[in-house]
Amino acid sequence: MLFNSFIFLLAFLPAALVLHWLTDRFKPEWRLSVLLLLSLFFYGYWDWRFTPLLVASIAINWLIAQAFMRSGRDVLIPLAITANLLVLAVFKYFNFFADLVSLVPGLQAPHYDIALPLGISFFTFHHIMYLTDLKKGNAPRYDLVRYGLYITFFPQVLAGPLVRWSEIMHQFEERPSLRPDAAERFARGLMQLTLGLAKKVFLGDPLAAYVNPIFQAAAAGNAVTMGEAWQASLGFTFQIYFDFSGYTDMALGLALMFGILLPQNFDVPYRSVSLQDFWRRWHMTLSRFLRDYLYIAMGGNRRGLALQLVALFATMTLGGLWHGAGLTFVAWGAAHGLALGAGVLWRKAGLSMPRPLGWALTFVFVMLTWVLFRATSFDAAMRIYEGLIGLGAPGFAFKWRTILIAALIATLGPTTWALVHRLPPYRWIAAAFALVLVIILFKIGDDANYEFIYFQF
């Protein structure tokens, strides 16, 4: 049930909103249970076979949290976190590690075609955040319904944002319909959902048509022209932004329509003037998770420069592995770790750089490393890199119109959140958004819908 599908927009969402409103008005004590059941139904609609895994992970982690609160045994939390990571490793990384073992002469590890449950990386990290904070004494005990809803809340269960318990749990106690700004919140949530859909349907998906055939040709062993290489590299740079930030806008908008405020995940990242600045603006909730639960846990910047650089490199490399079970993802993360380390050394030396040059270097680096992220192998990535410098096939045909529009919006425009919350409550604005939503529905009915990129993680 994609957010950009008729079944979601015209069936599930209206039914869920009506049921939630009726419950909030007439049976408020049922509201959280209804939201939990709606979220489980939404998740199970993709593949009901994975719903027991999600339910079991919620029940087991909750029971361990209760046992820890009663007994105080510190060993319970590390065991639970290890178990969560092992489940993630089995489903997502078993064949990846089997391939690594098979690189050793004389060893051959078996392969198993295990379907990857949607959102497993995201809900696993939600468990880890809560359990880690519980062990530190920062998180309180919650009942099973509230904890289950924290893990499964349907706008963010599949692809984030990564939400800390402290950012959402207190909101479960509110009565959305009783807030004085309830109508305004709902309207702004609907506007954000509409703009997120527009980013996906009018920019992300058309850019996919620019990008996918070229990366597929490179994966098949075909040489890529310079024009095609630049089209694919620039196209994917903006495709992944509009695809993922569009999903996040939809998630934030949907949550707001149900009375929940989720954290923002993007802040115009392609305006960044350094790589450090980029990671403060791109997938912000993941960046905070990596910083607080990995980088700082490894020592961060508190134990000397050498350990800081090692921690930074290890954190970003593991962040790359989190994105996908492939060495290209590891290389992507490692490249960012090395570049962030170089930035630390640059700043420690007291050096500076003009902001326009910093922006250009950051953008080019991010674009070049996105090639590793998108390519299915190092050979495919190398064919794109060869094309970028003119060592591929001859030719410079380049589809640039959608890329130019995307570049202008991504670098000059405000975030969707800022735009929606700046707009005054005028009727003509509401009519314009209604028209955009109708056009989107026609577009969805006309074209094939692309799955969101981050659903595979």
Instruction: Please say if the pLDDT value at position 447 is more than 90.
Output: no
Q: Band the pLDDT of 111: cuts 50, 70, 90.
A: confident
Residue with tokens 């592995």: 321
20 part of the active site: no
Helix (H) or strand (E) holding 189: helix 182-198
The C-alpha torsion from 282 through 287 and 288 to 290, rounded to 10°, is 170
Q: Are 323 and 125 in contact (CB under 8 A)?
A: no
Residue with tokens 């027991």: 52
Q: For residue 431, give both structure tokens.
A: 């009519």
Q: Are 388 and 233 in contact (CB under 8 A)?
A: yes
CB-based contacts of 138, cutoff 8 Å, min separation 6: 166
What are the CA-CA distances from residue 447 to residues 16, 222, 406, 436, 442 (Å)?
A: 26, 28, 20, 16, 9
Count the Cβ atoms, other than its own, within 10 Å of residue 57. 22
Residue with tokens 């950012």: 167
Instruction: Please say if the pLDDT value at position 108 is more than 80.
Output: no
Catalytic residue among 126, 127, 283, 323: 323
Q: For residue 44, give both structure tokens.
A: 């199970």
Rounded CA gap, 263 and 313, in Å?
26
Instruction: Please say if the pLDDT value at position 433 is more than 70.
Output: yes
> Can you tell me the mean pLDDT for 225-234?
96
- Which pLDDT score, from 0 to 100, does residue 234 have? 98
- Which pLDDT score, from 0 to 100, does residue 450 have? 73
The residues spanned by each domain of the chain are 6-178, 183-274+353-456
Q: Band the pLDDT of 446: cuts 50, 70, 90.
A: low
> Can you tell me the mean pLDDT for 261-271?
96
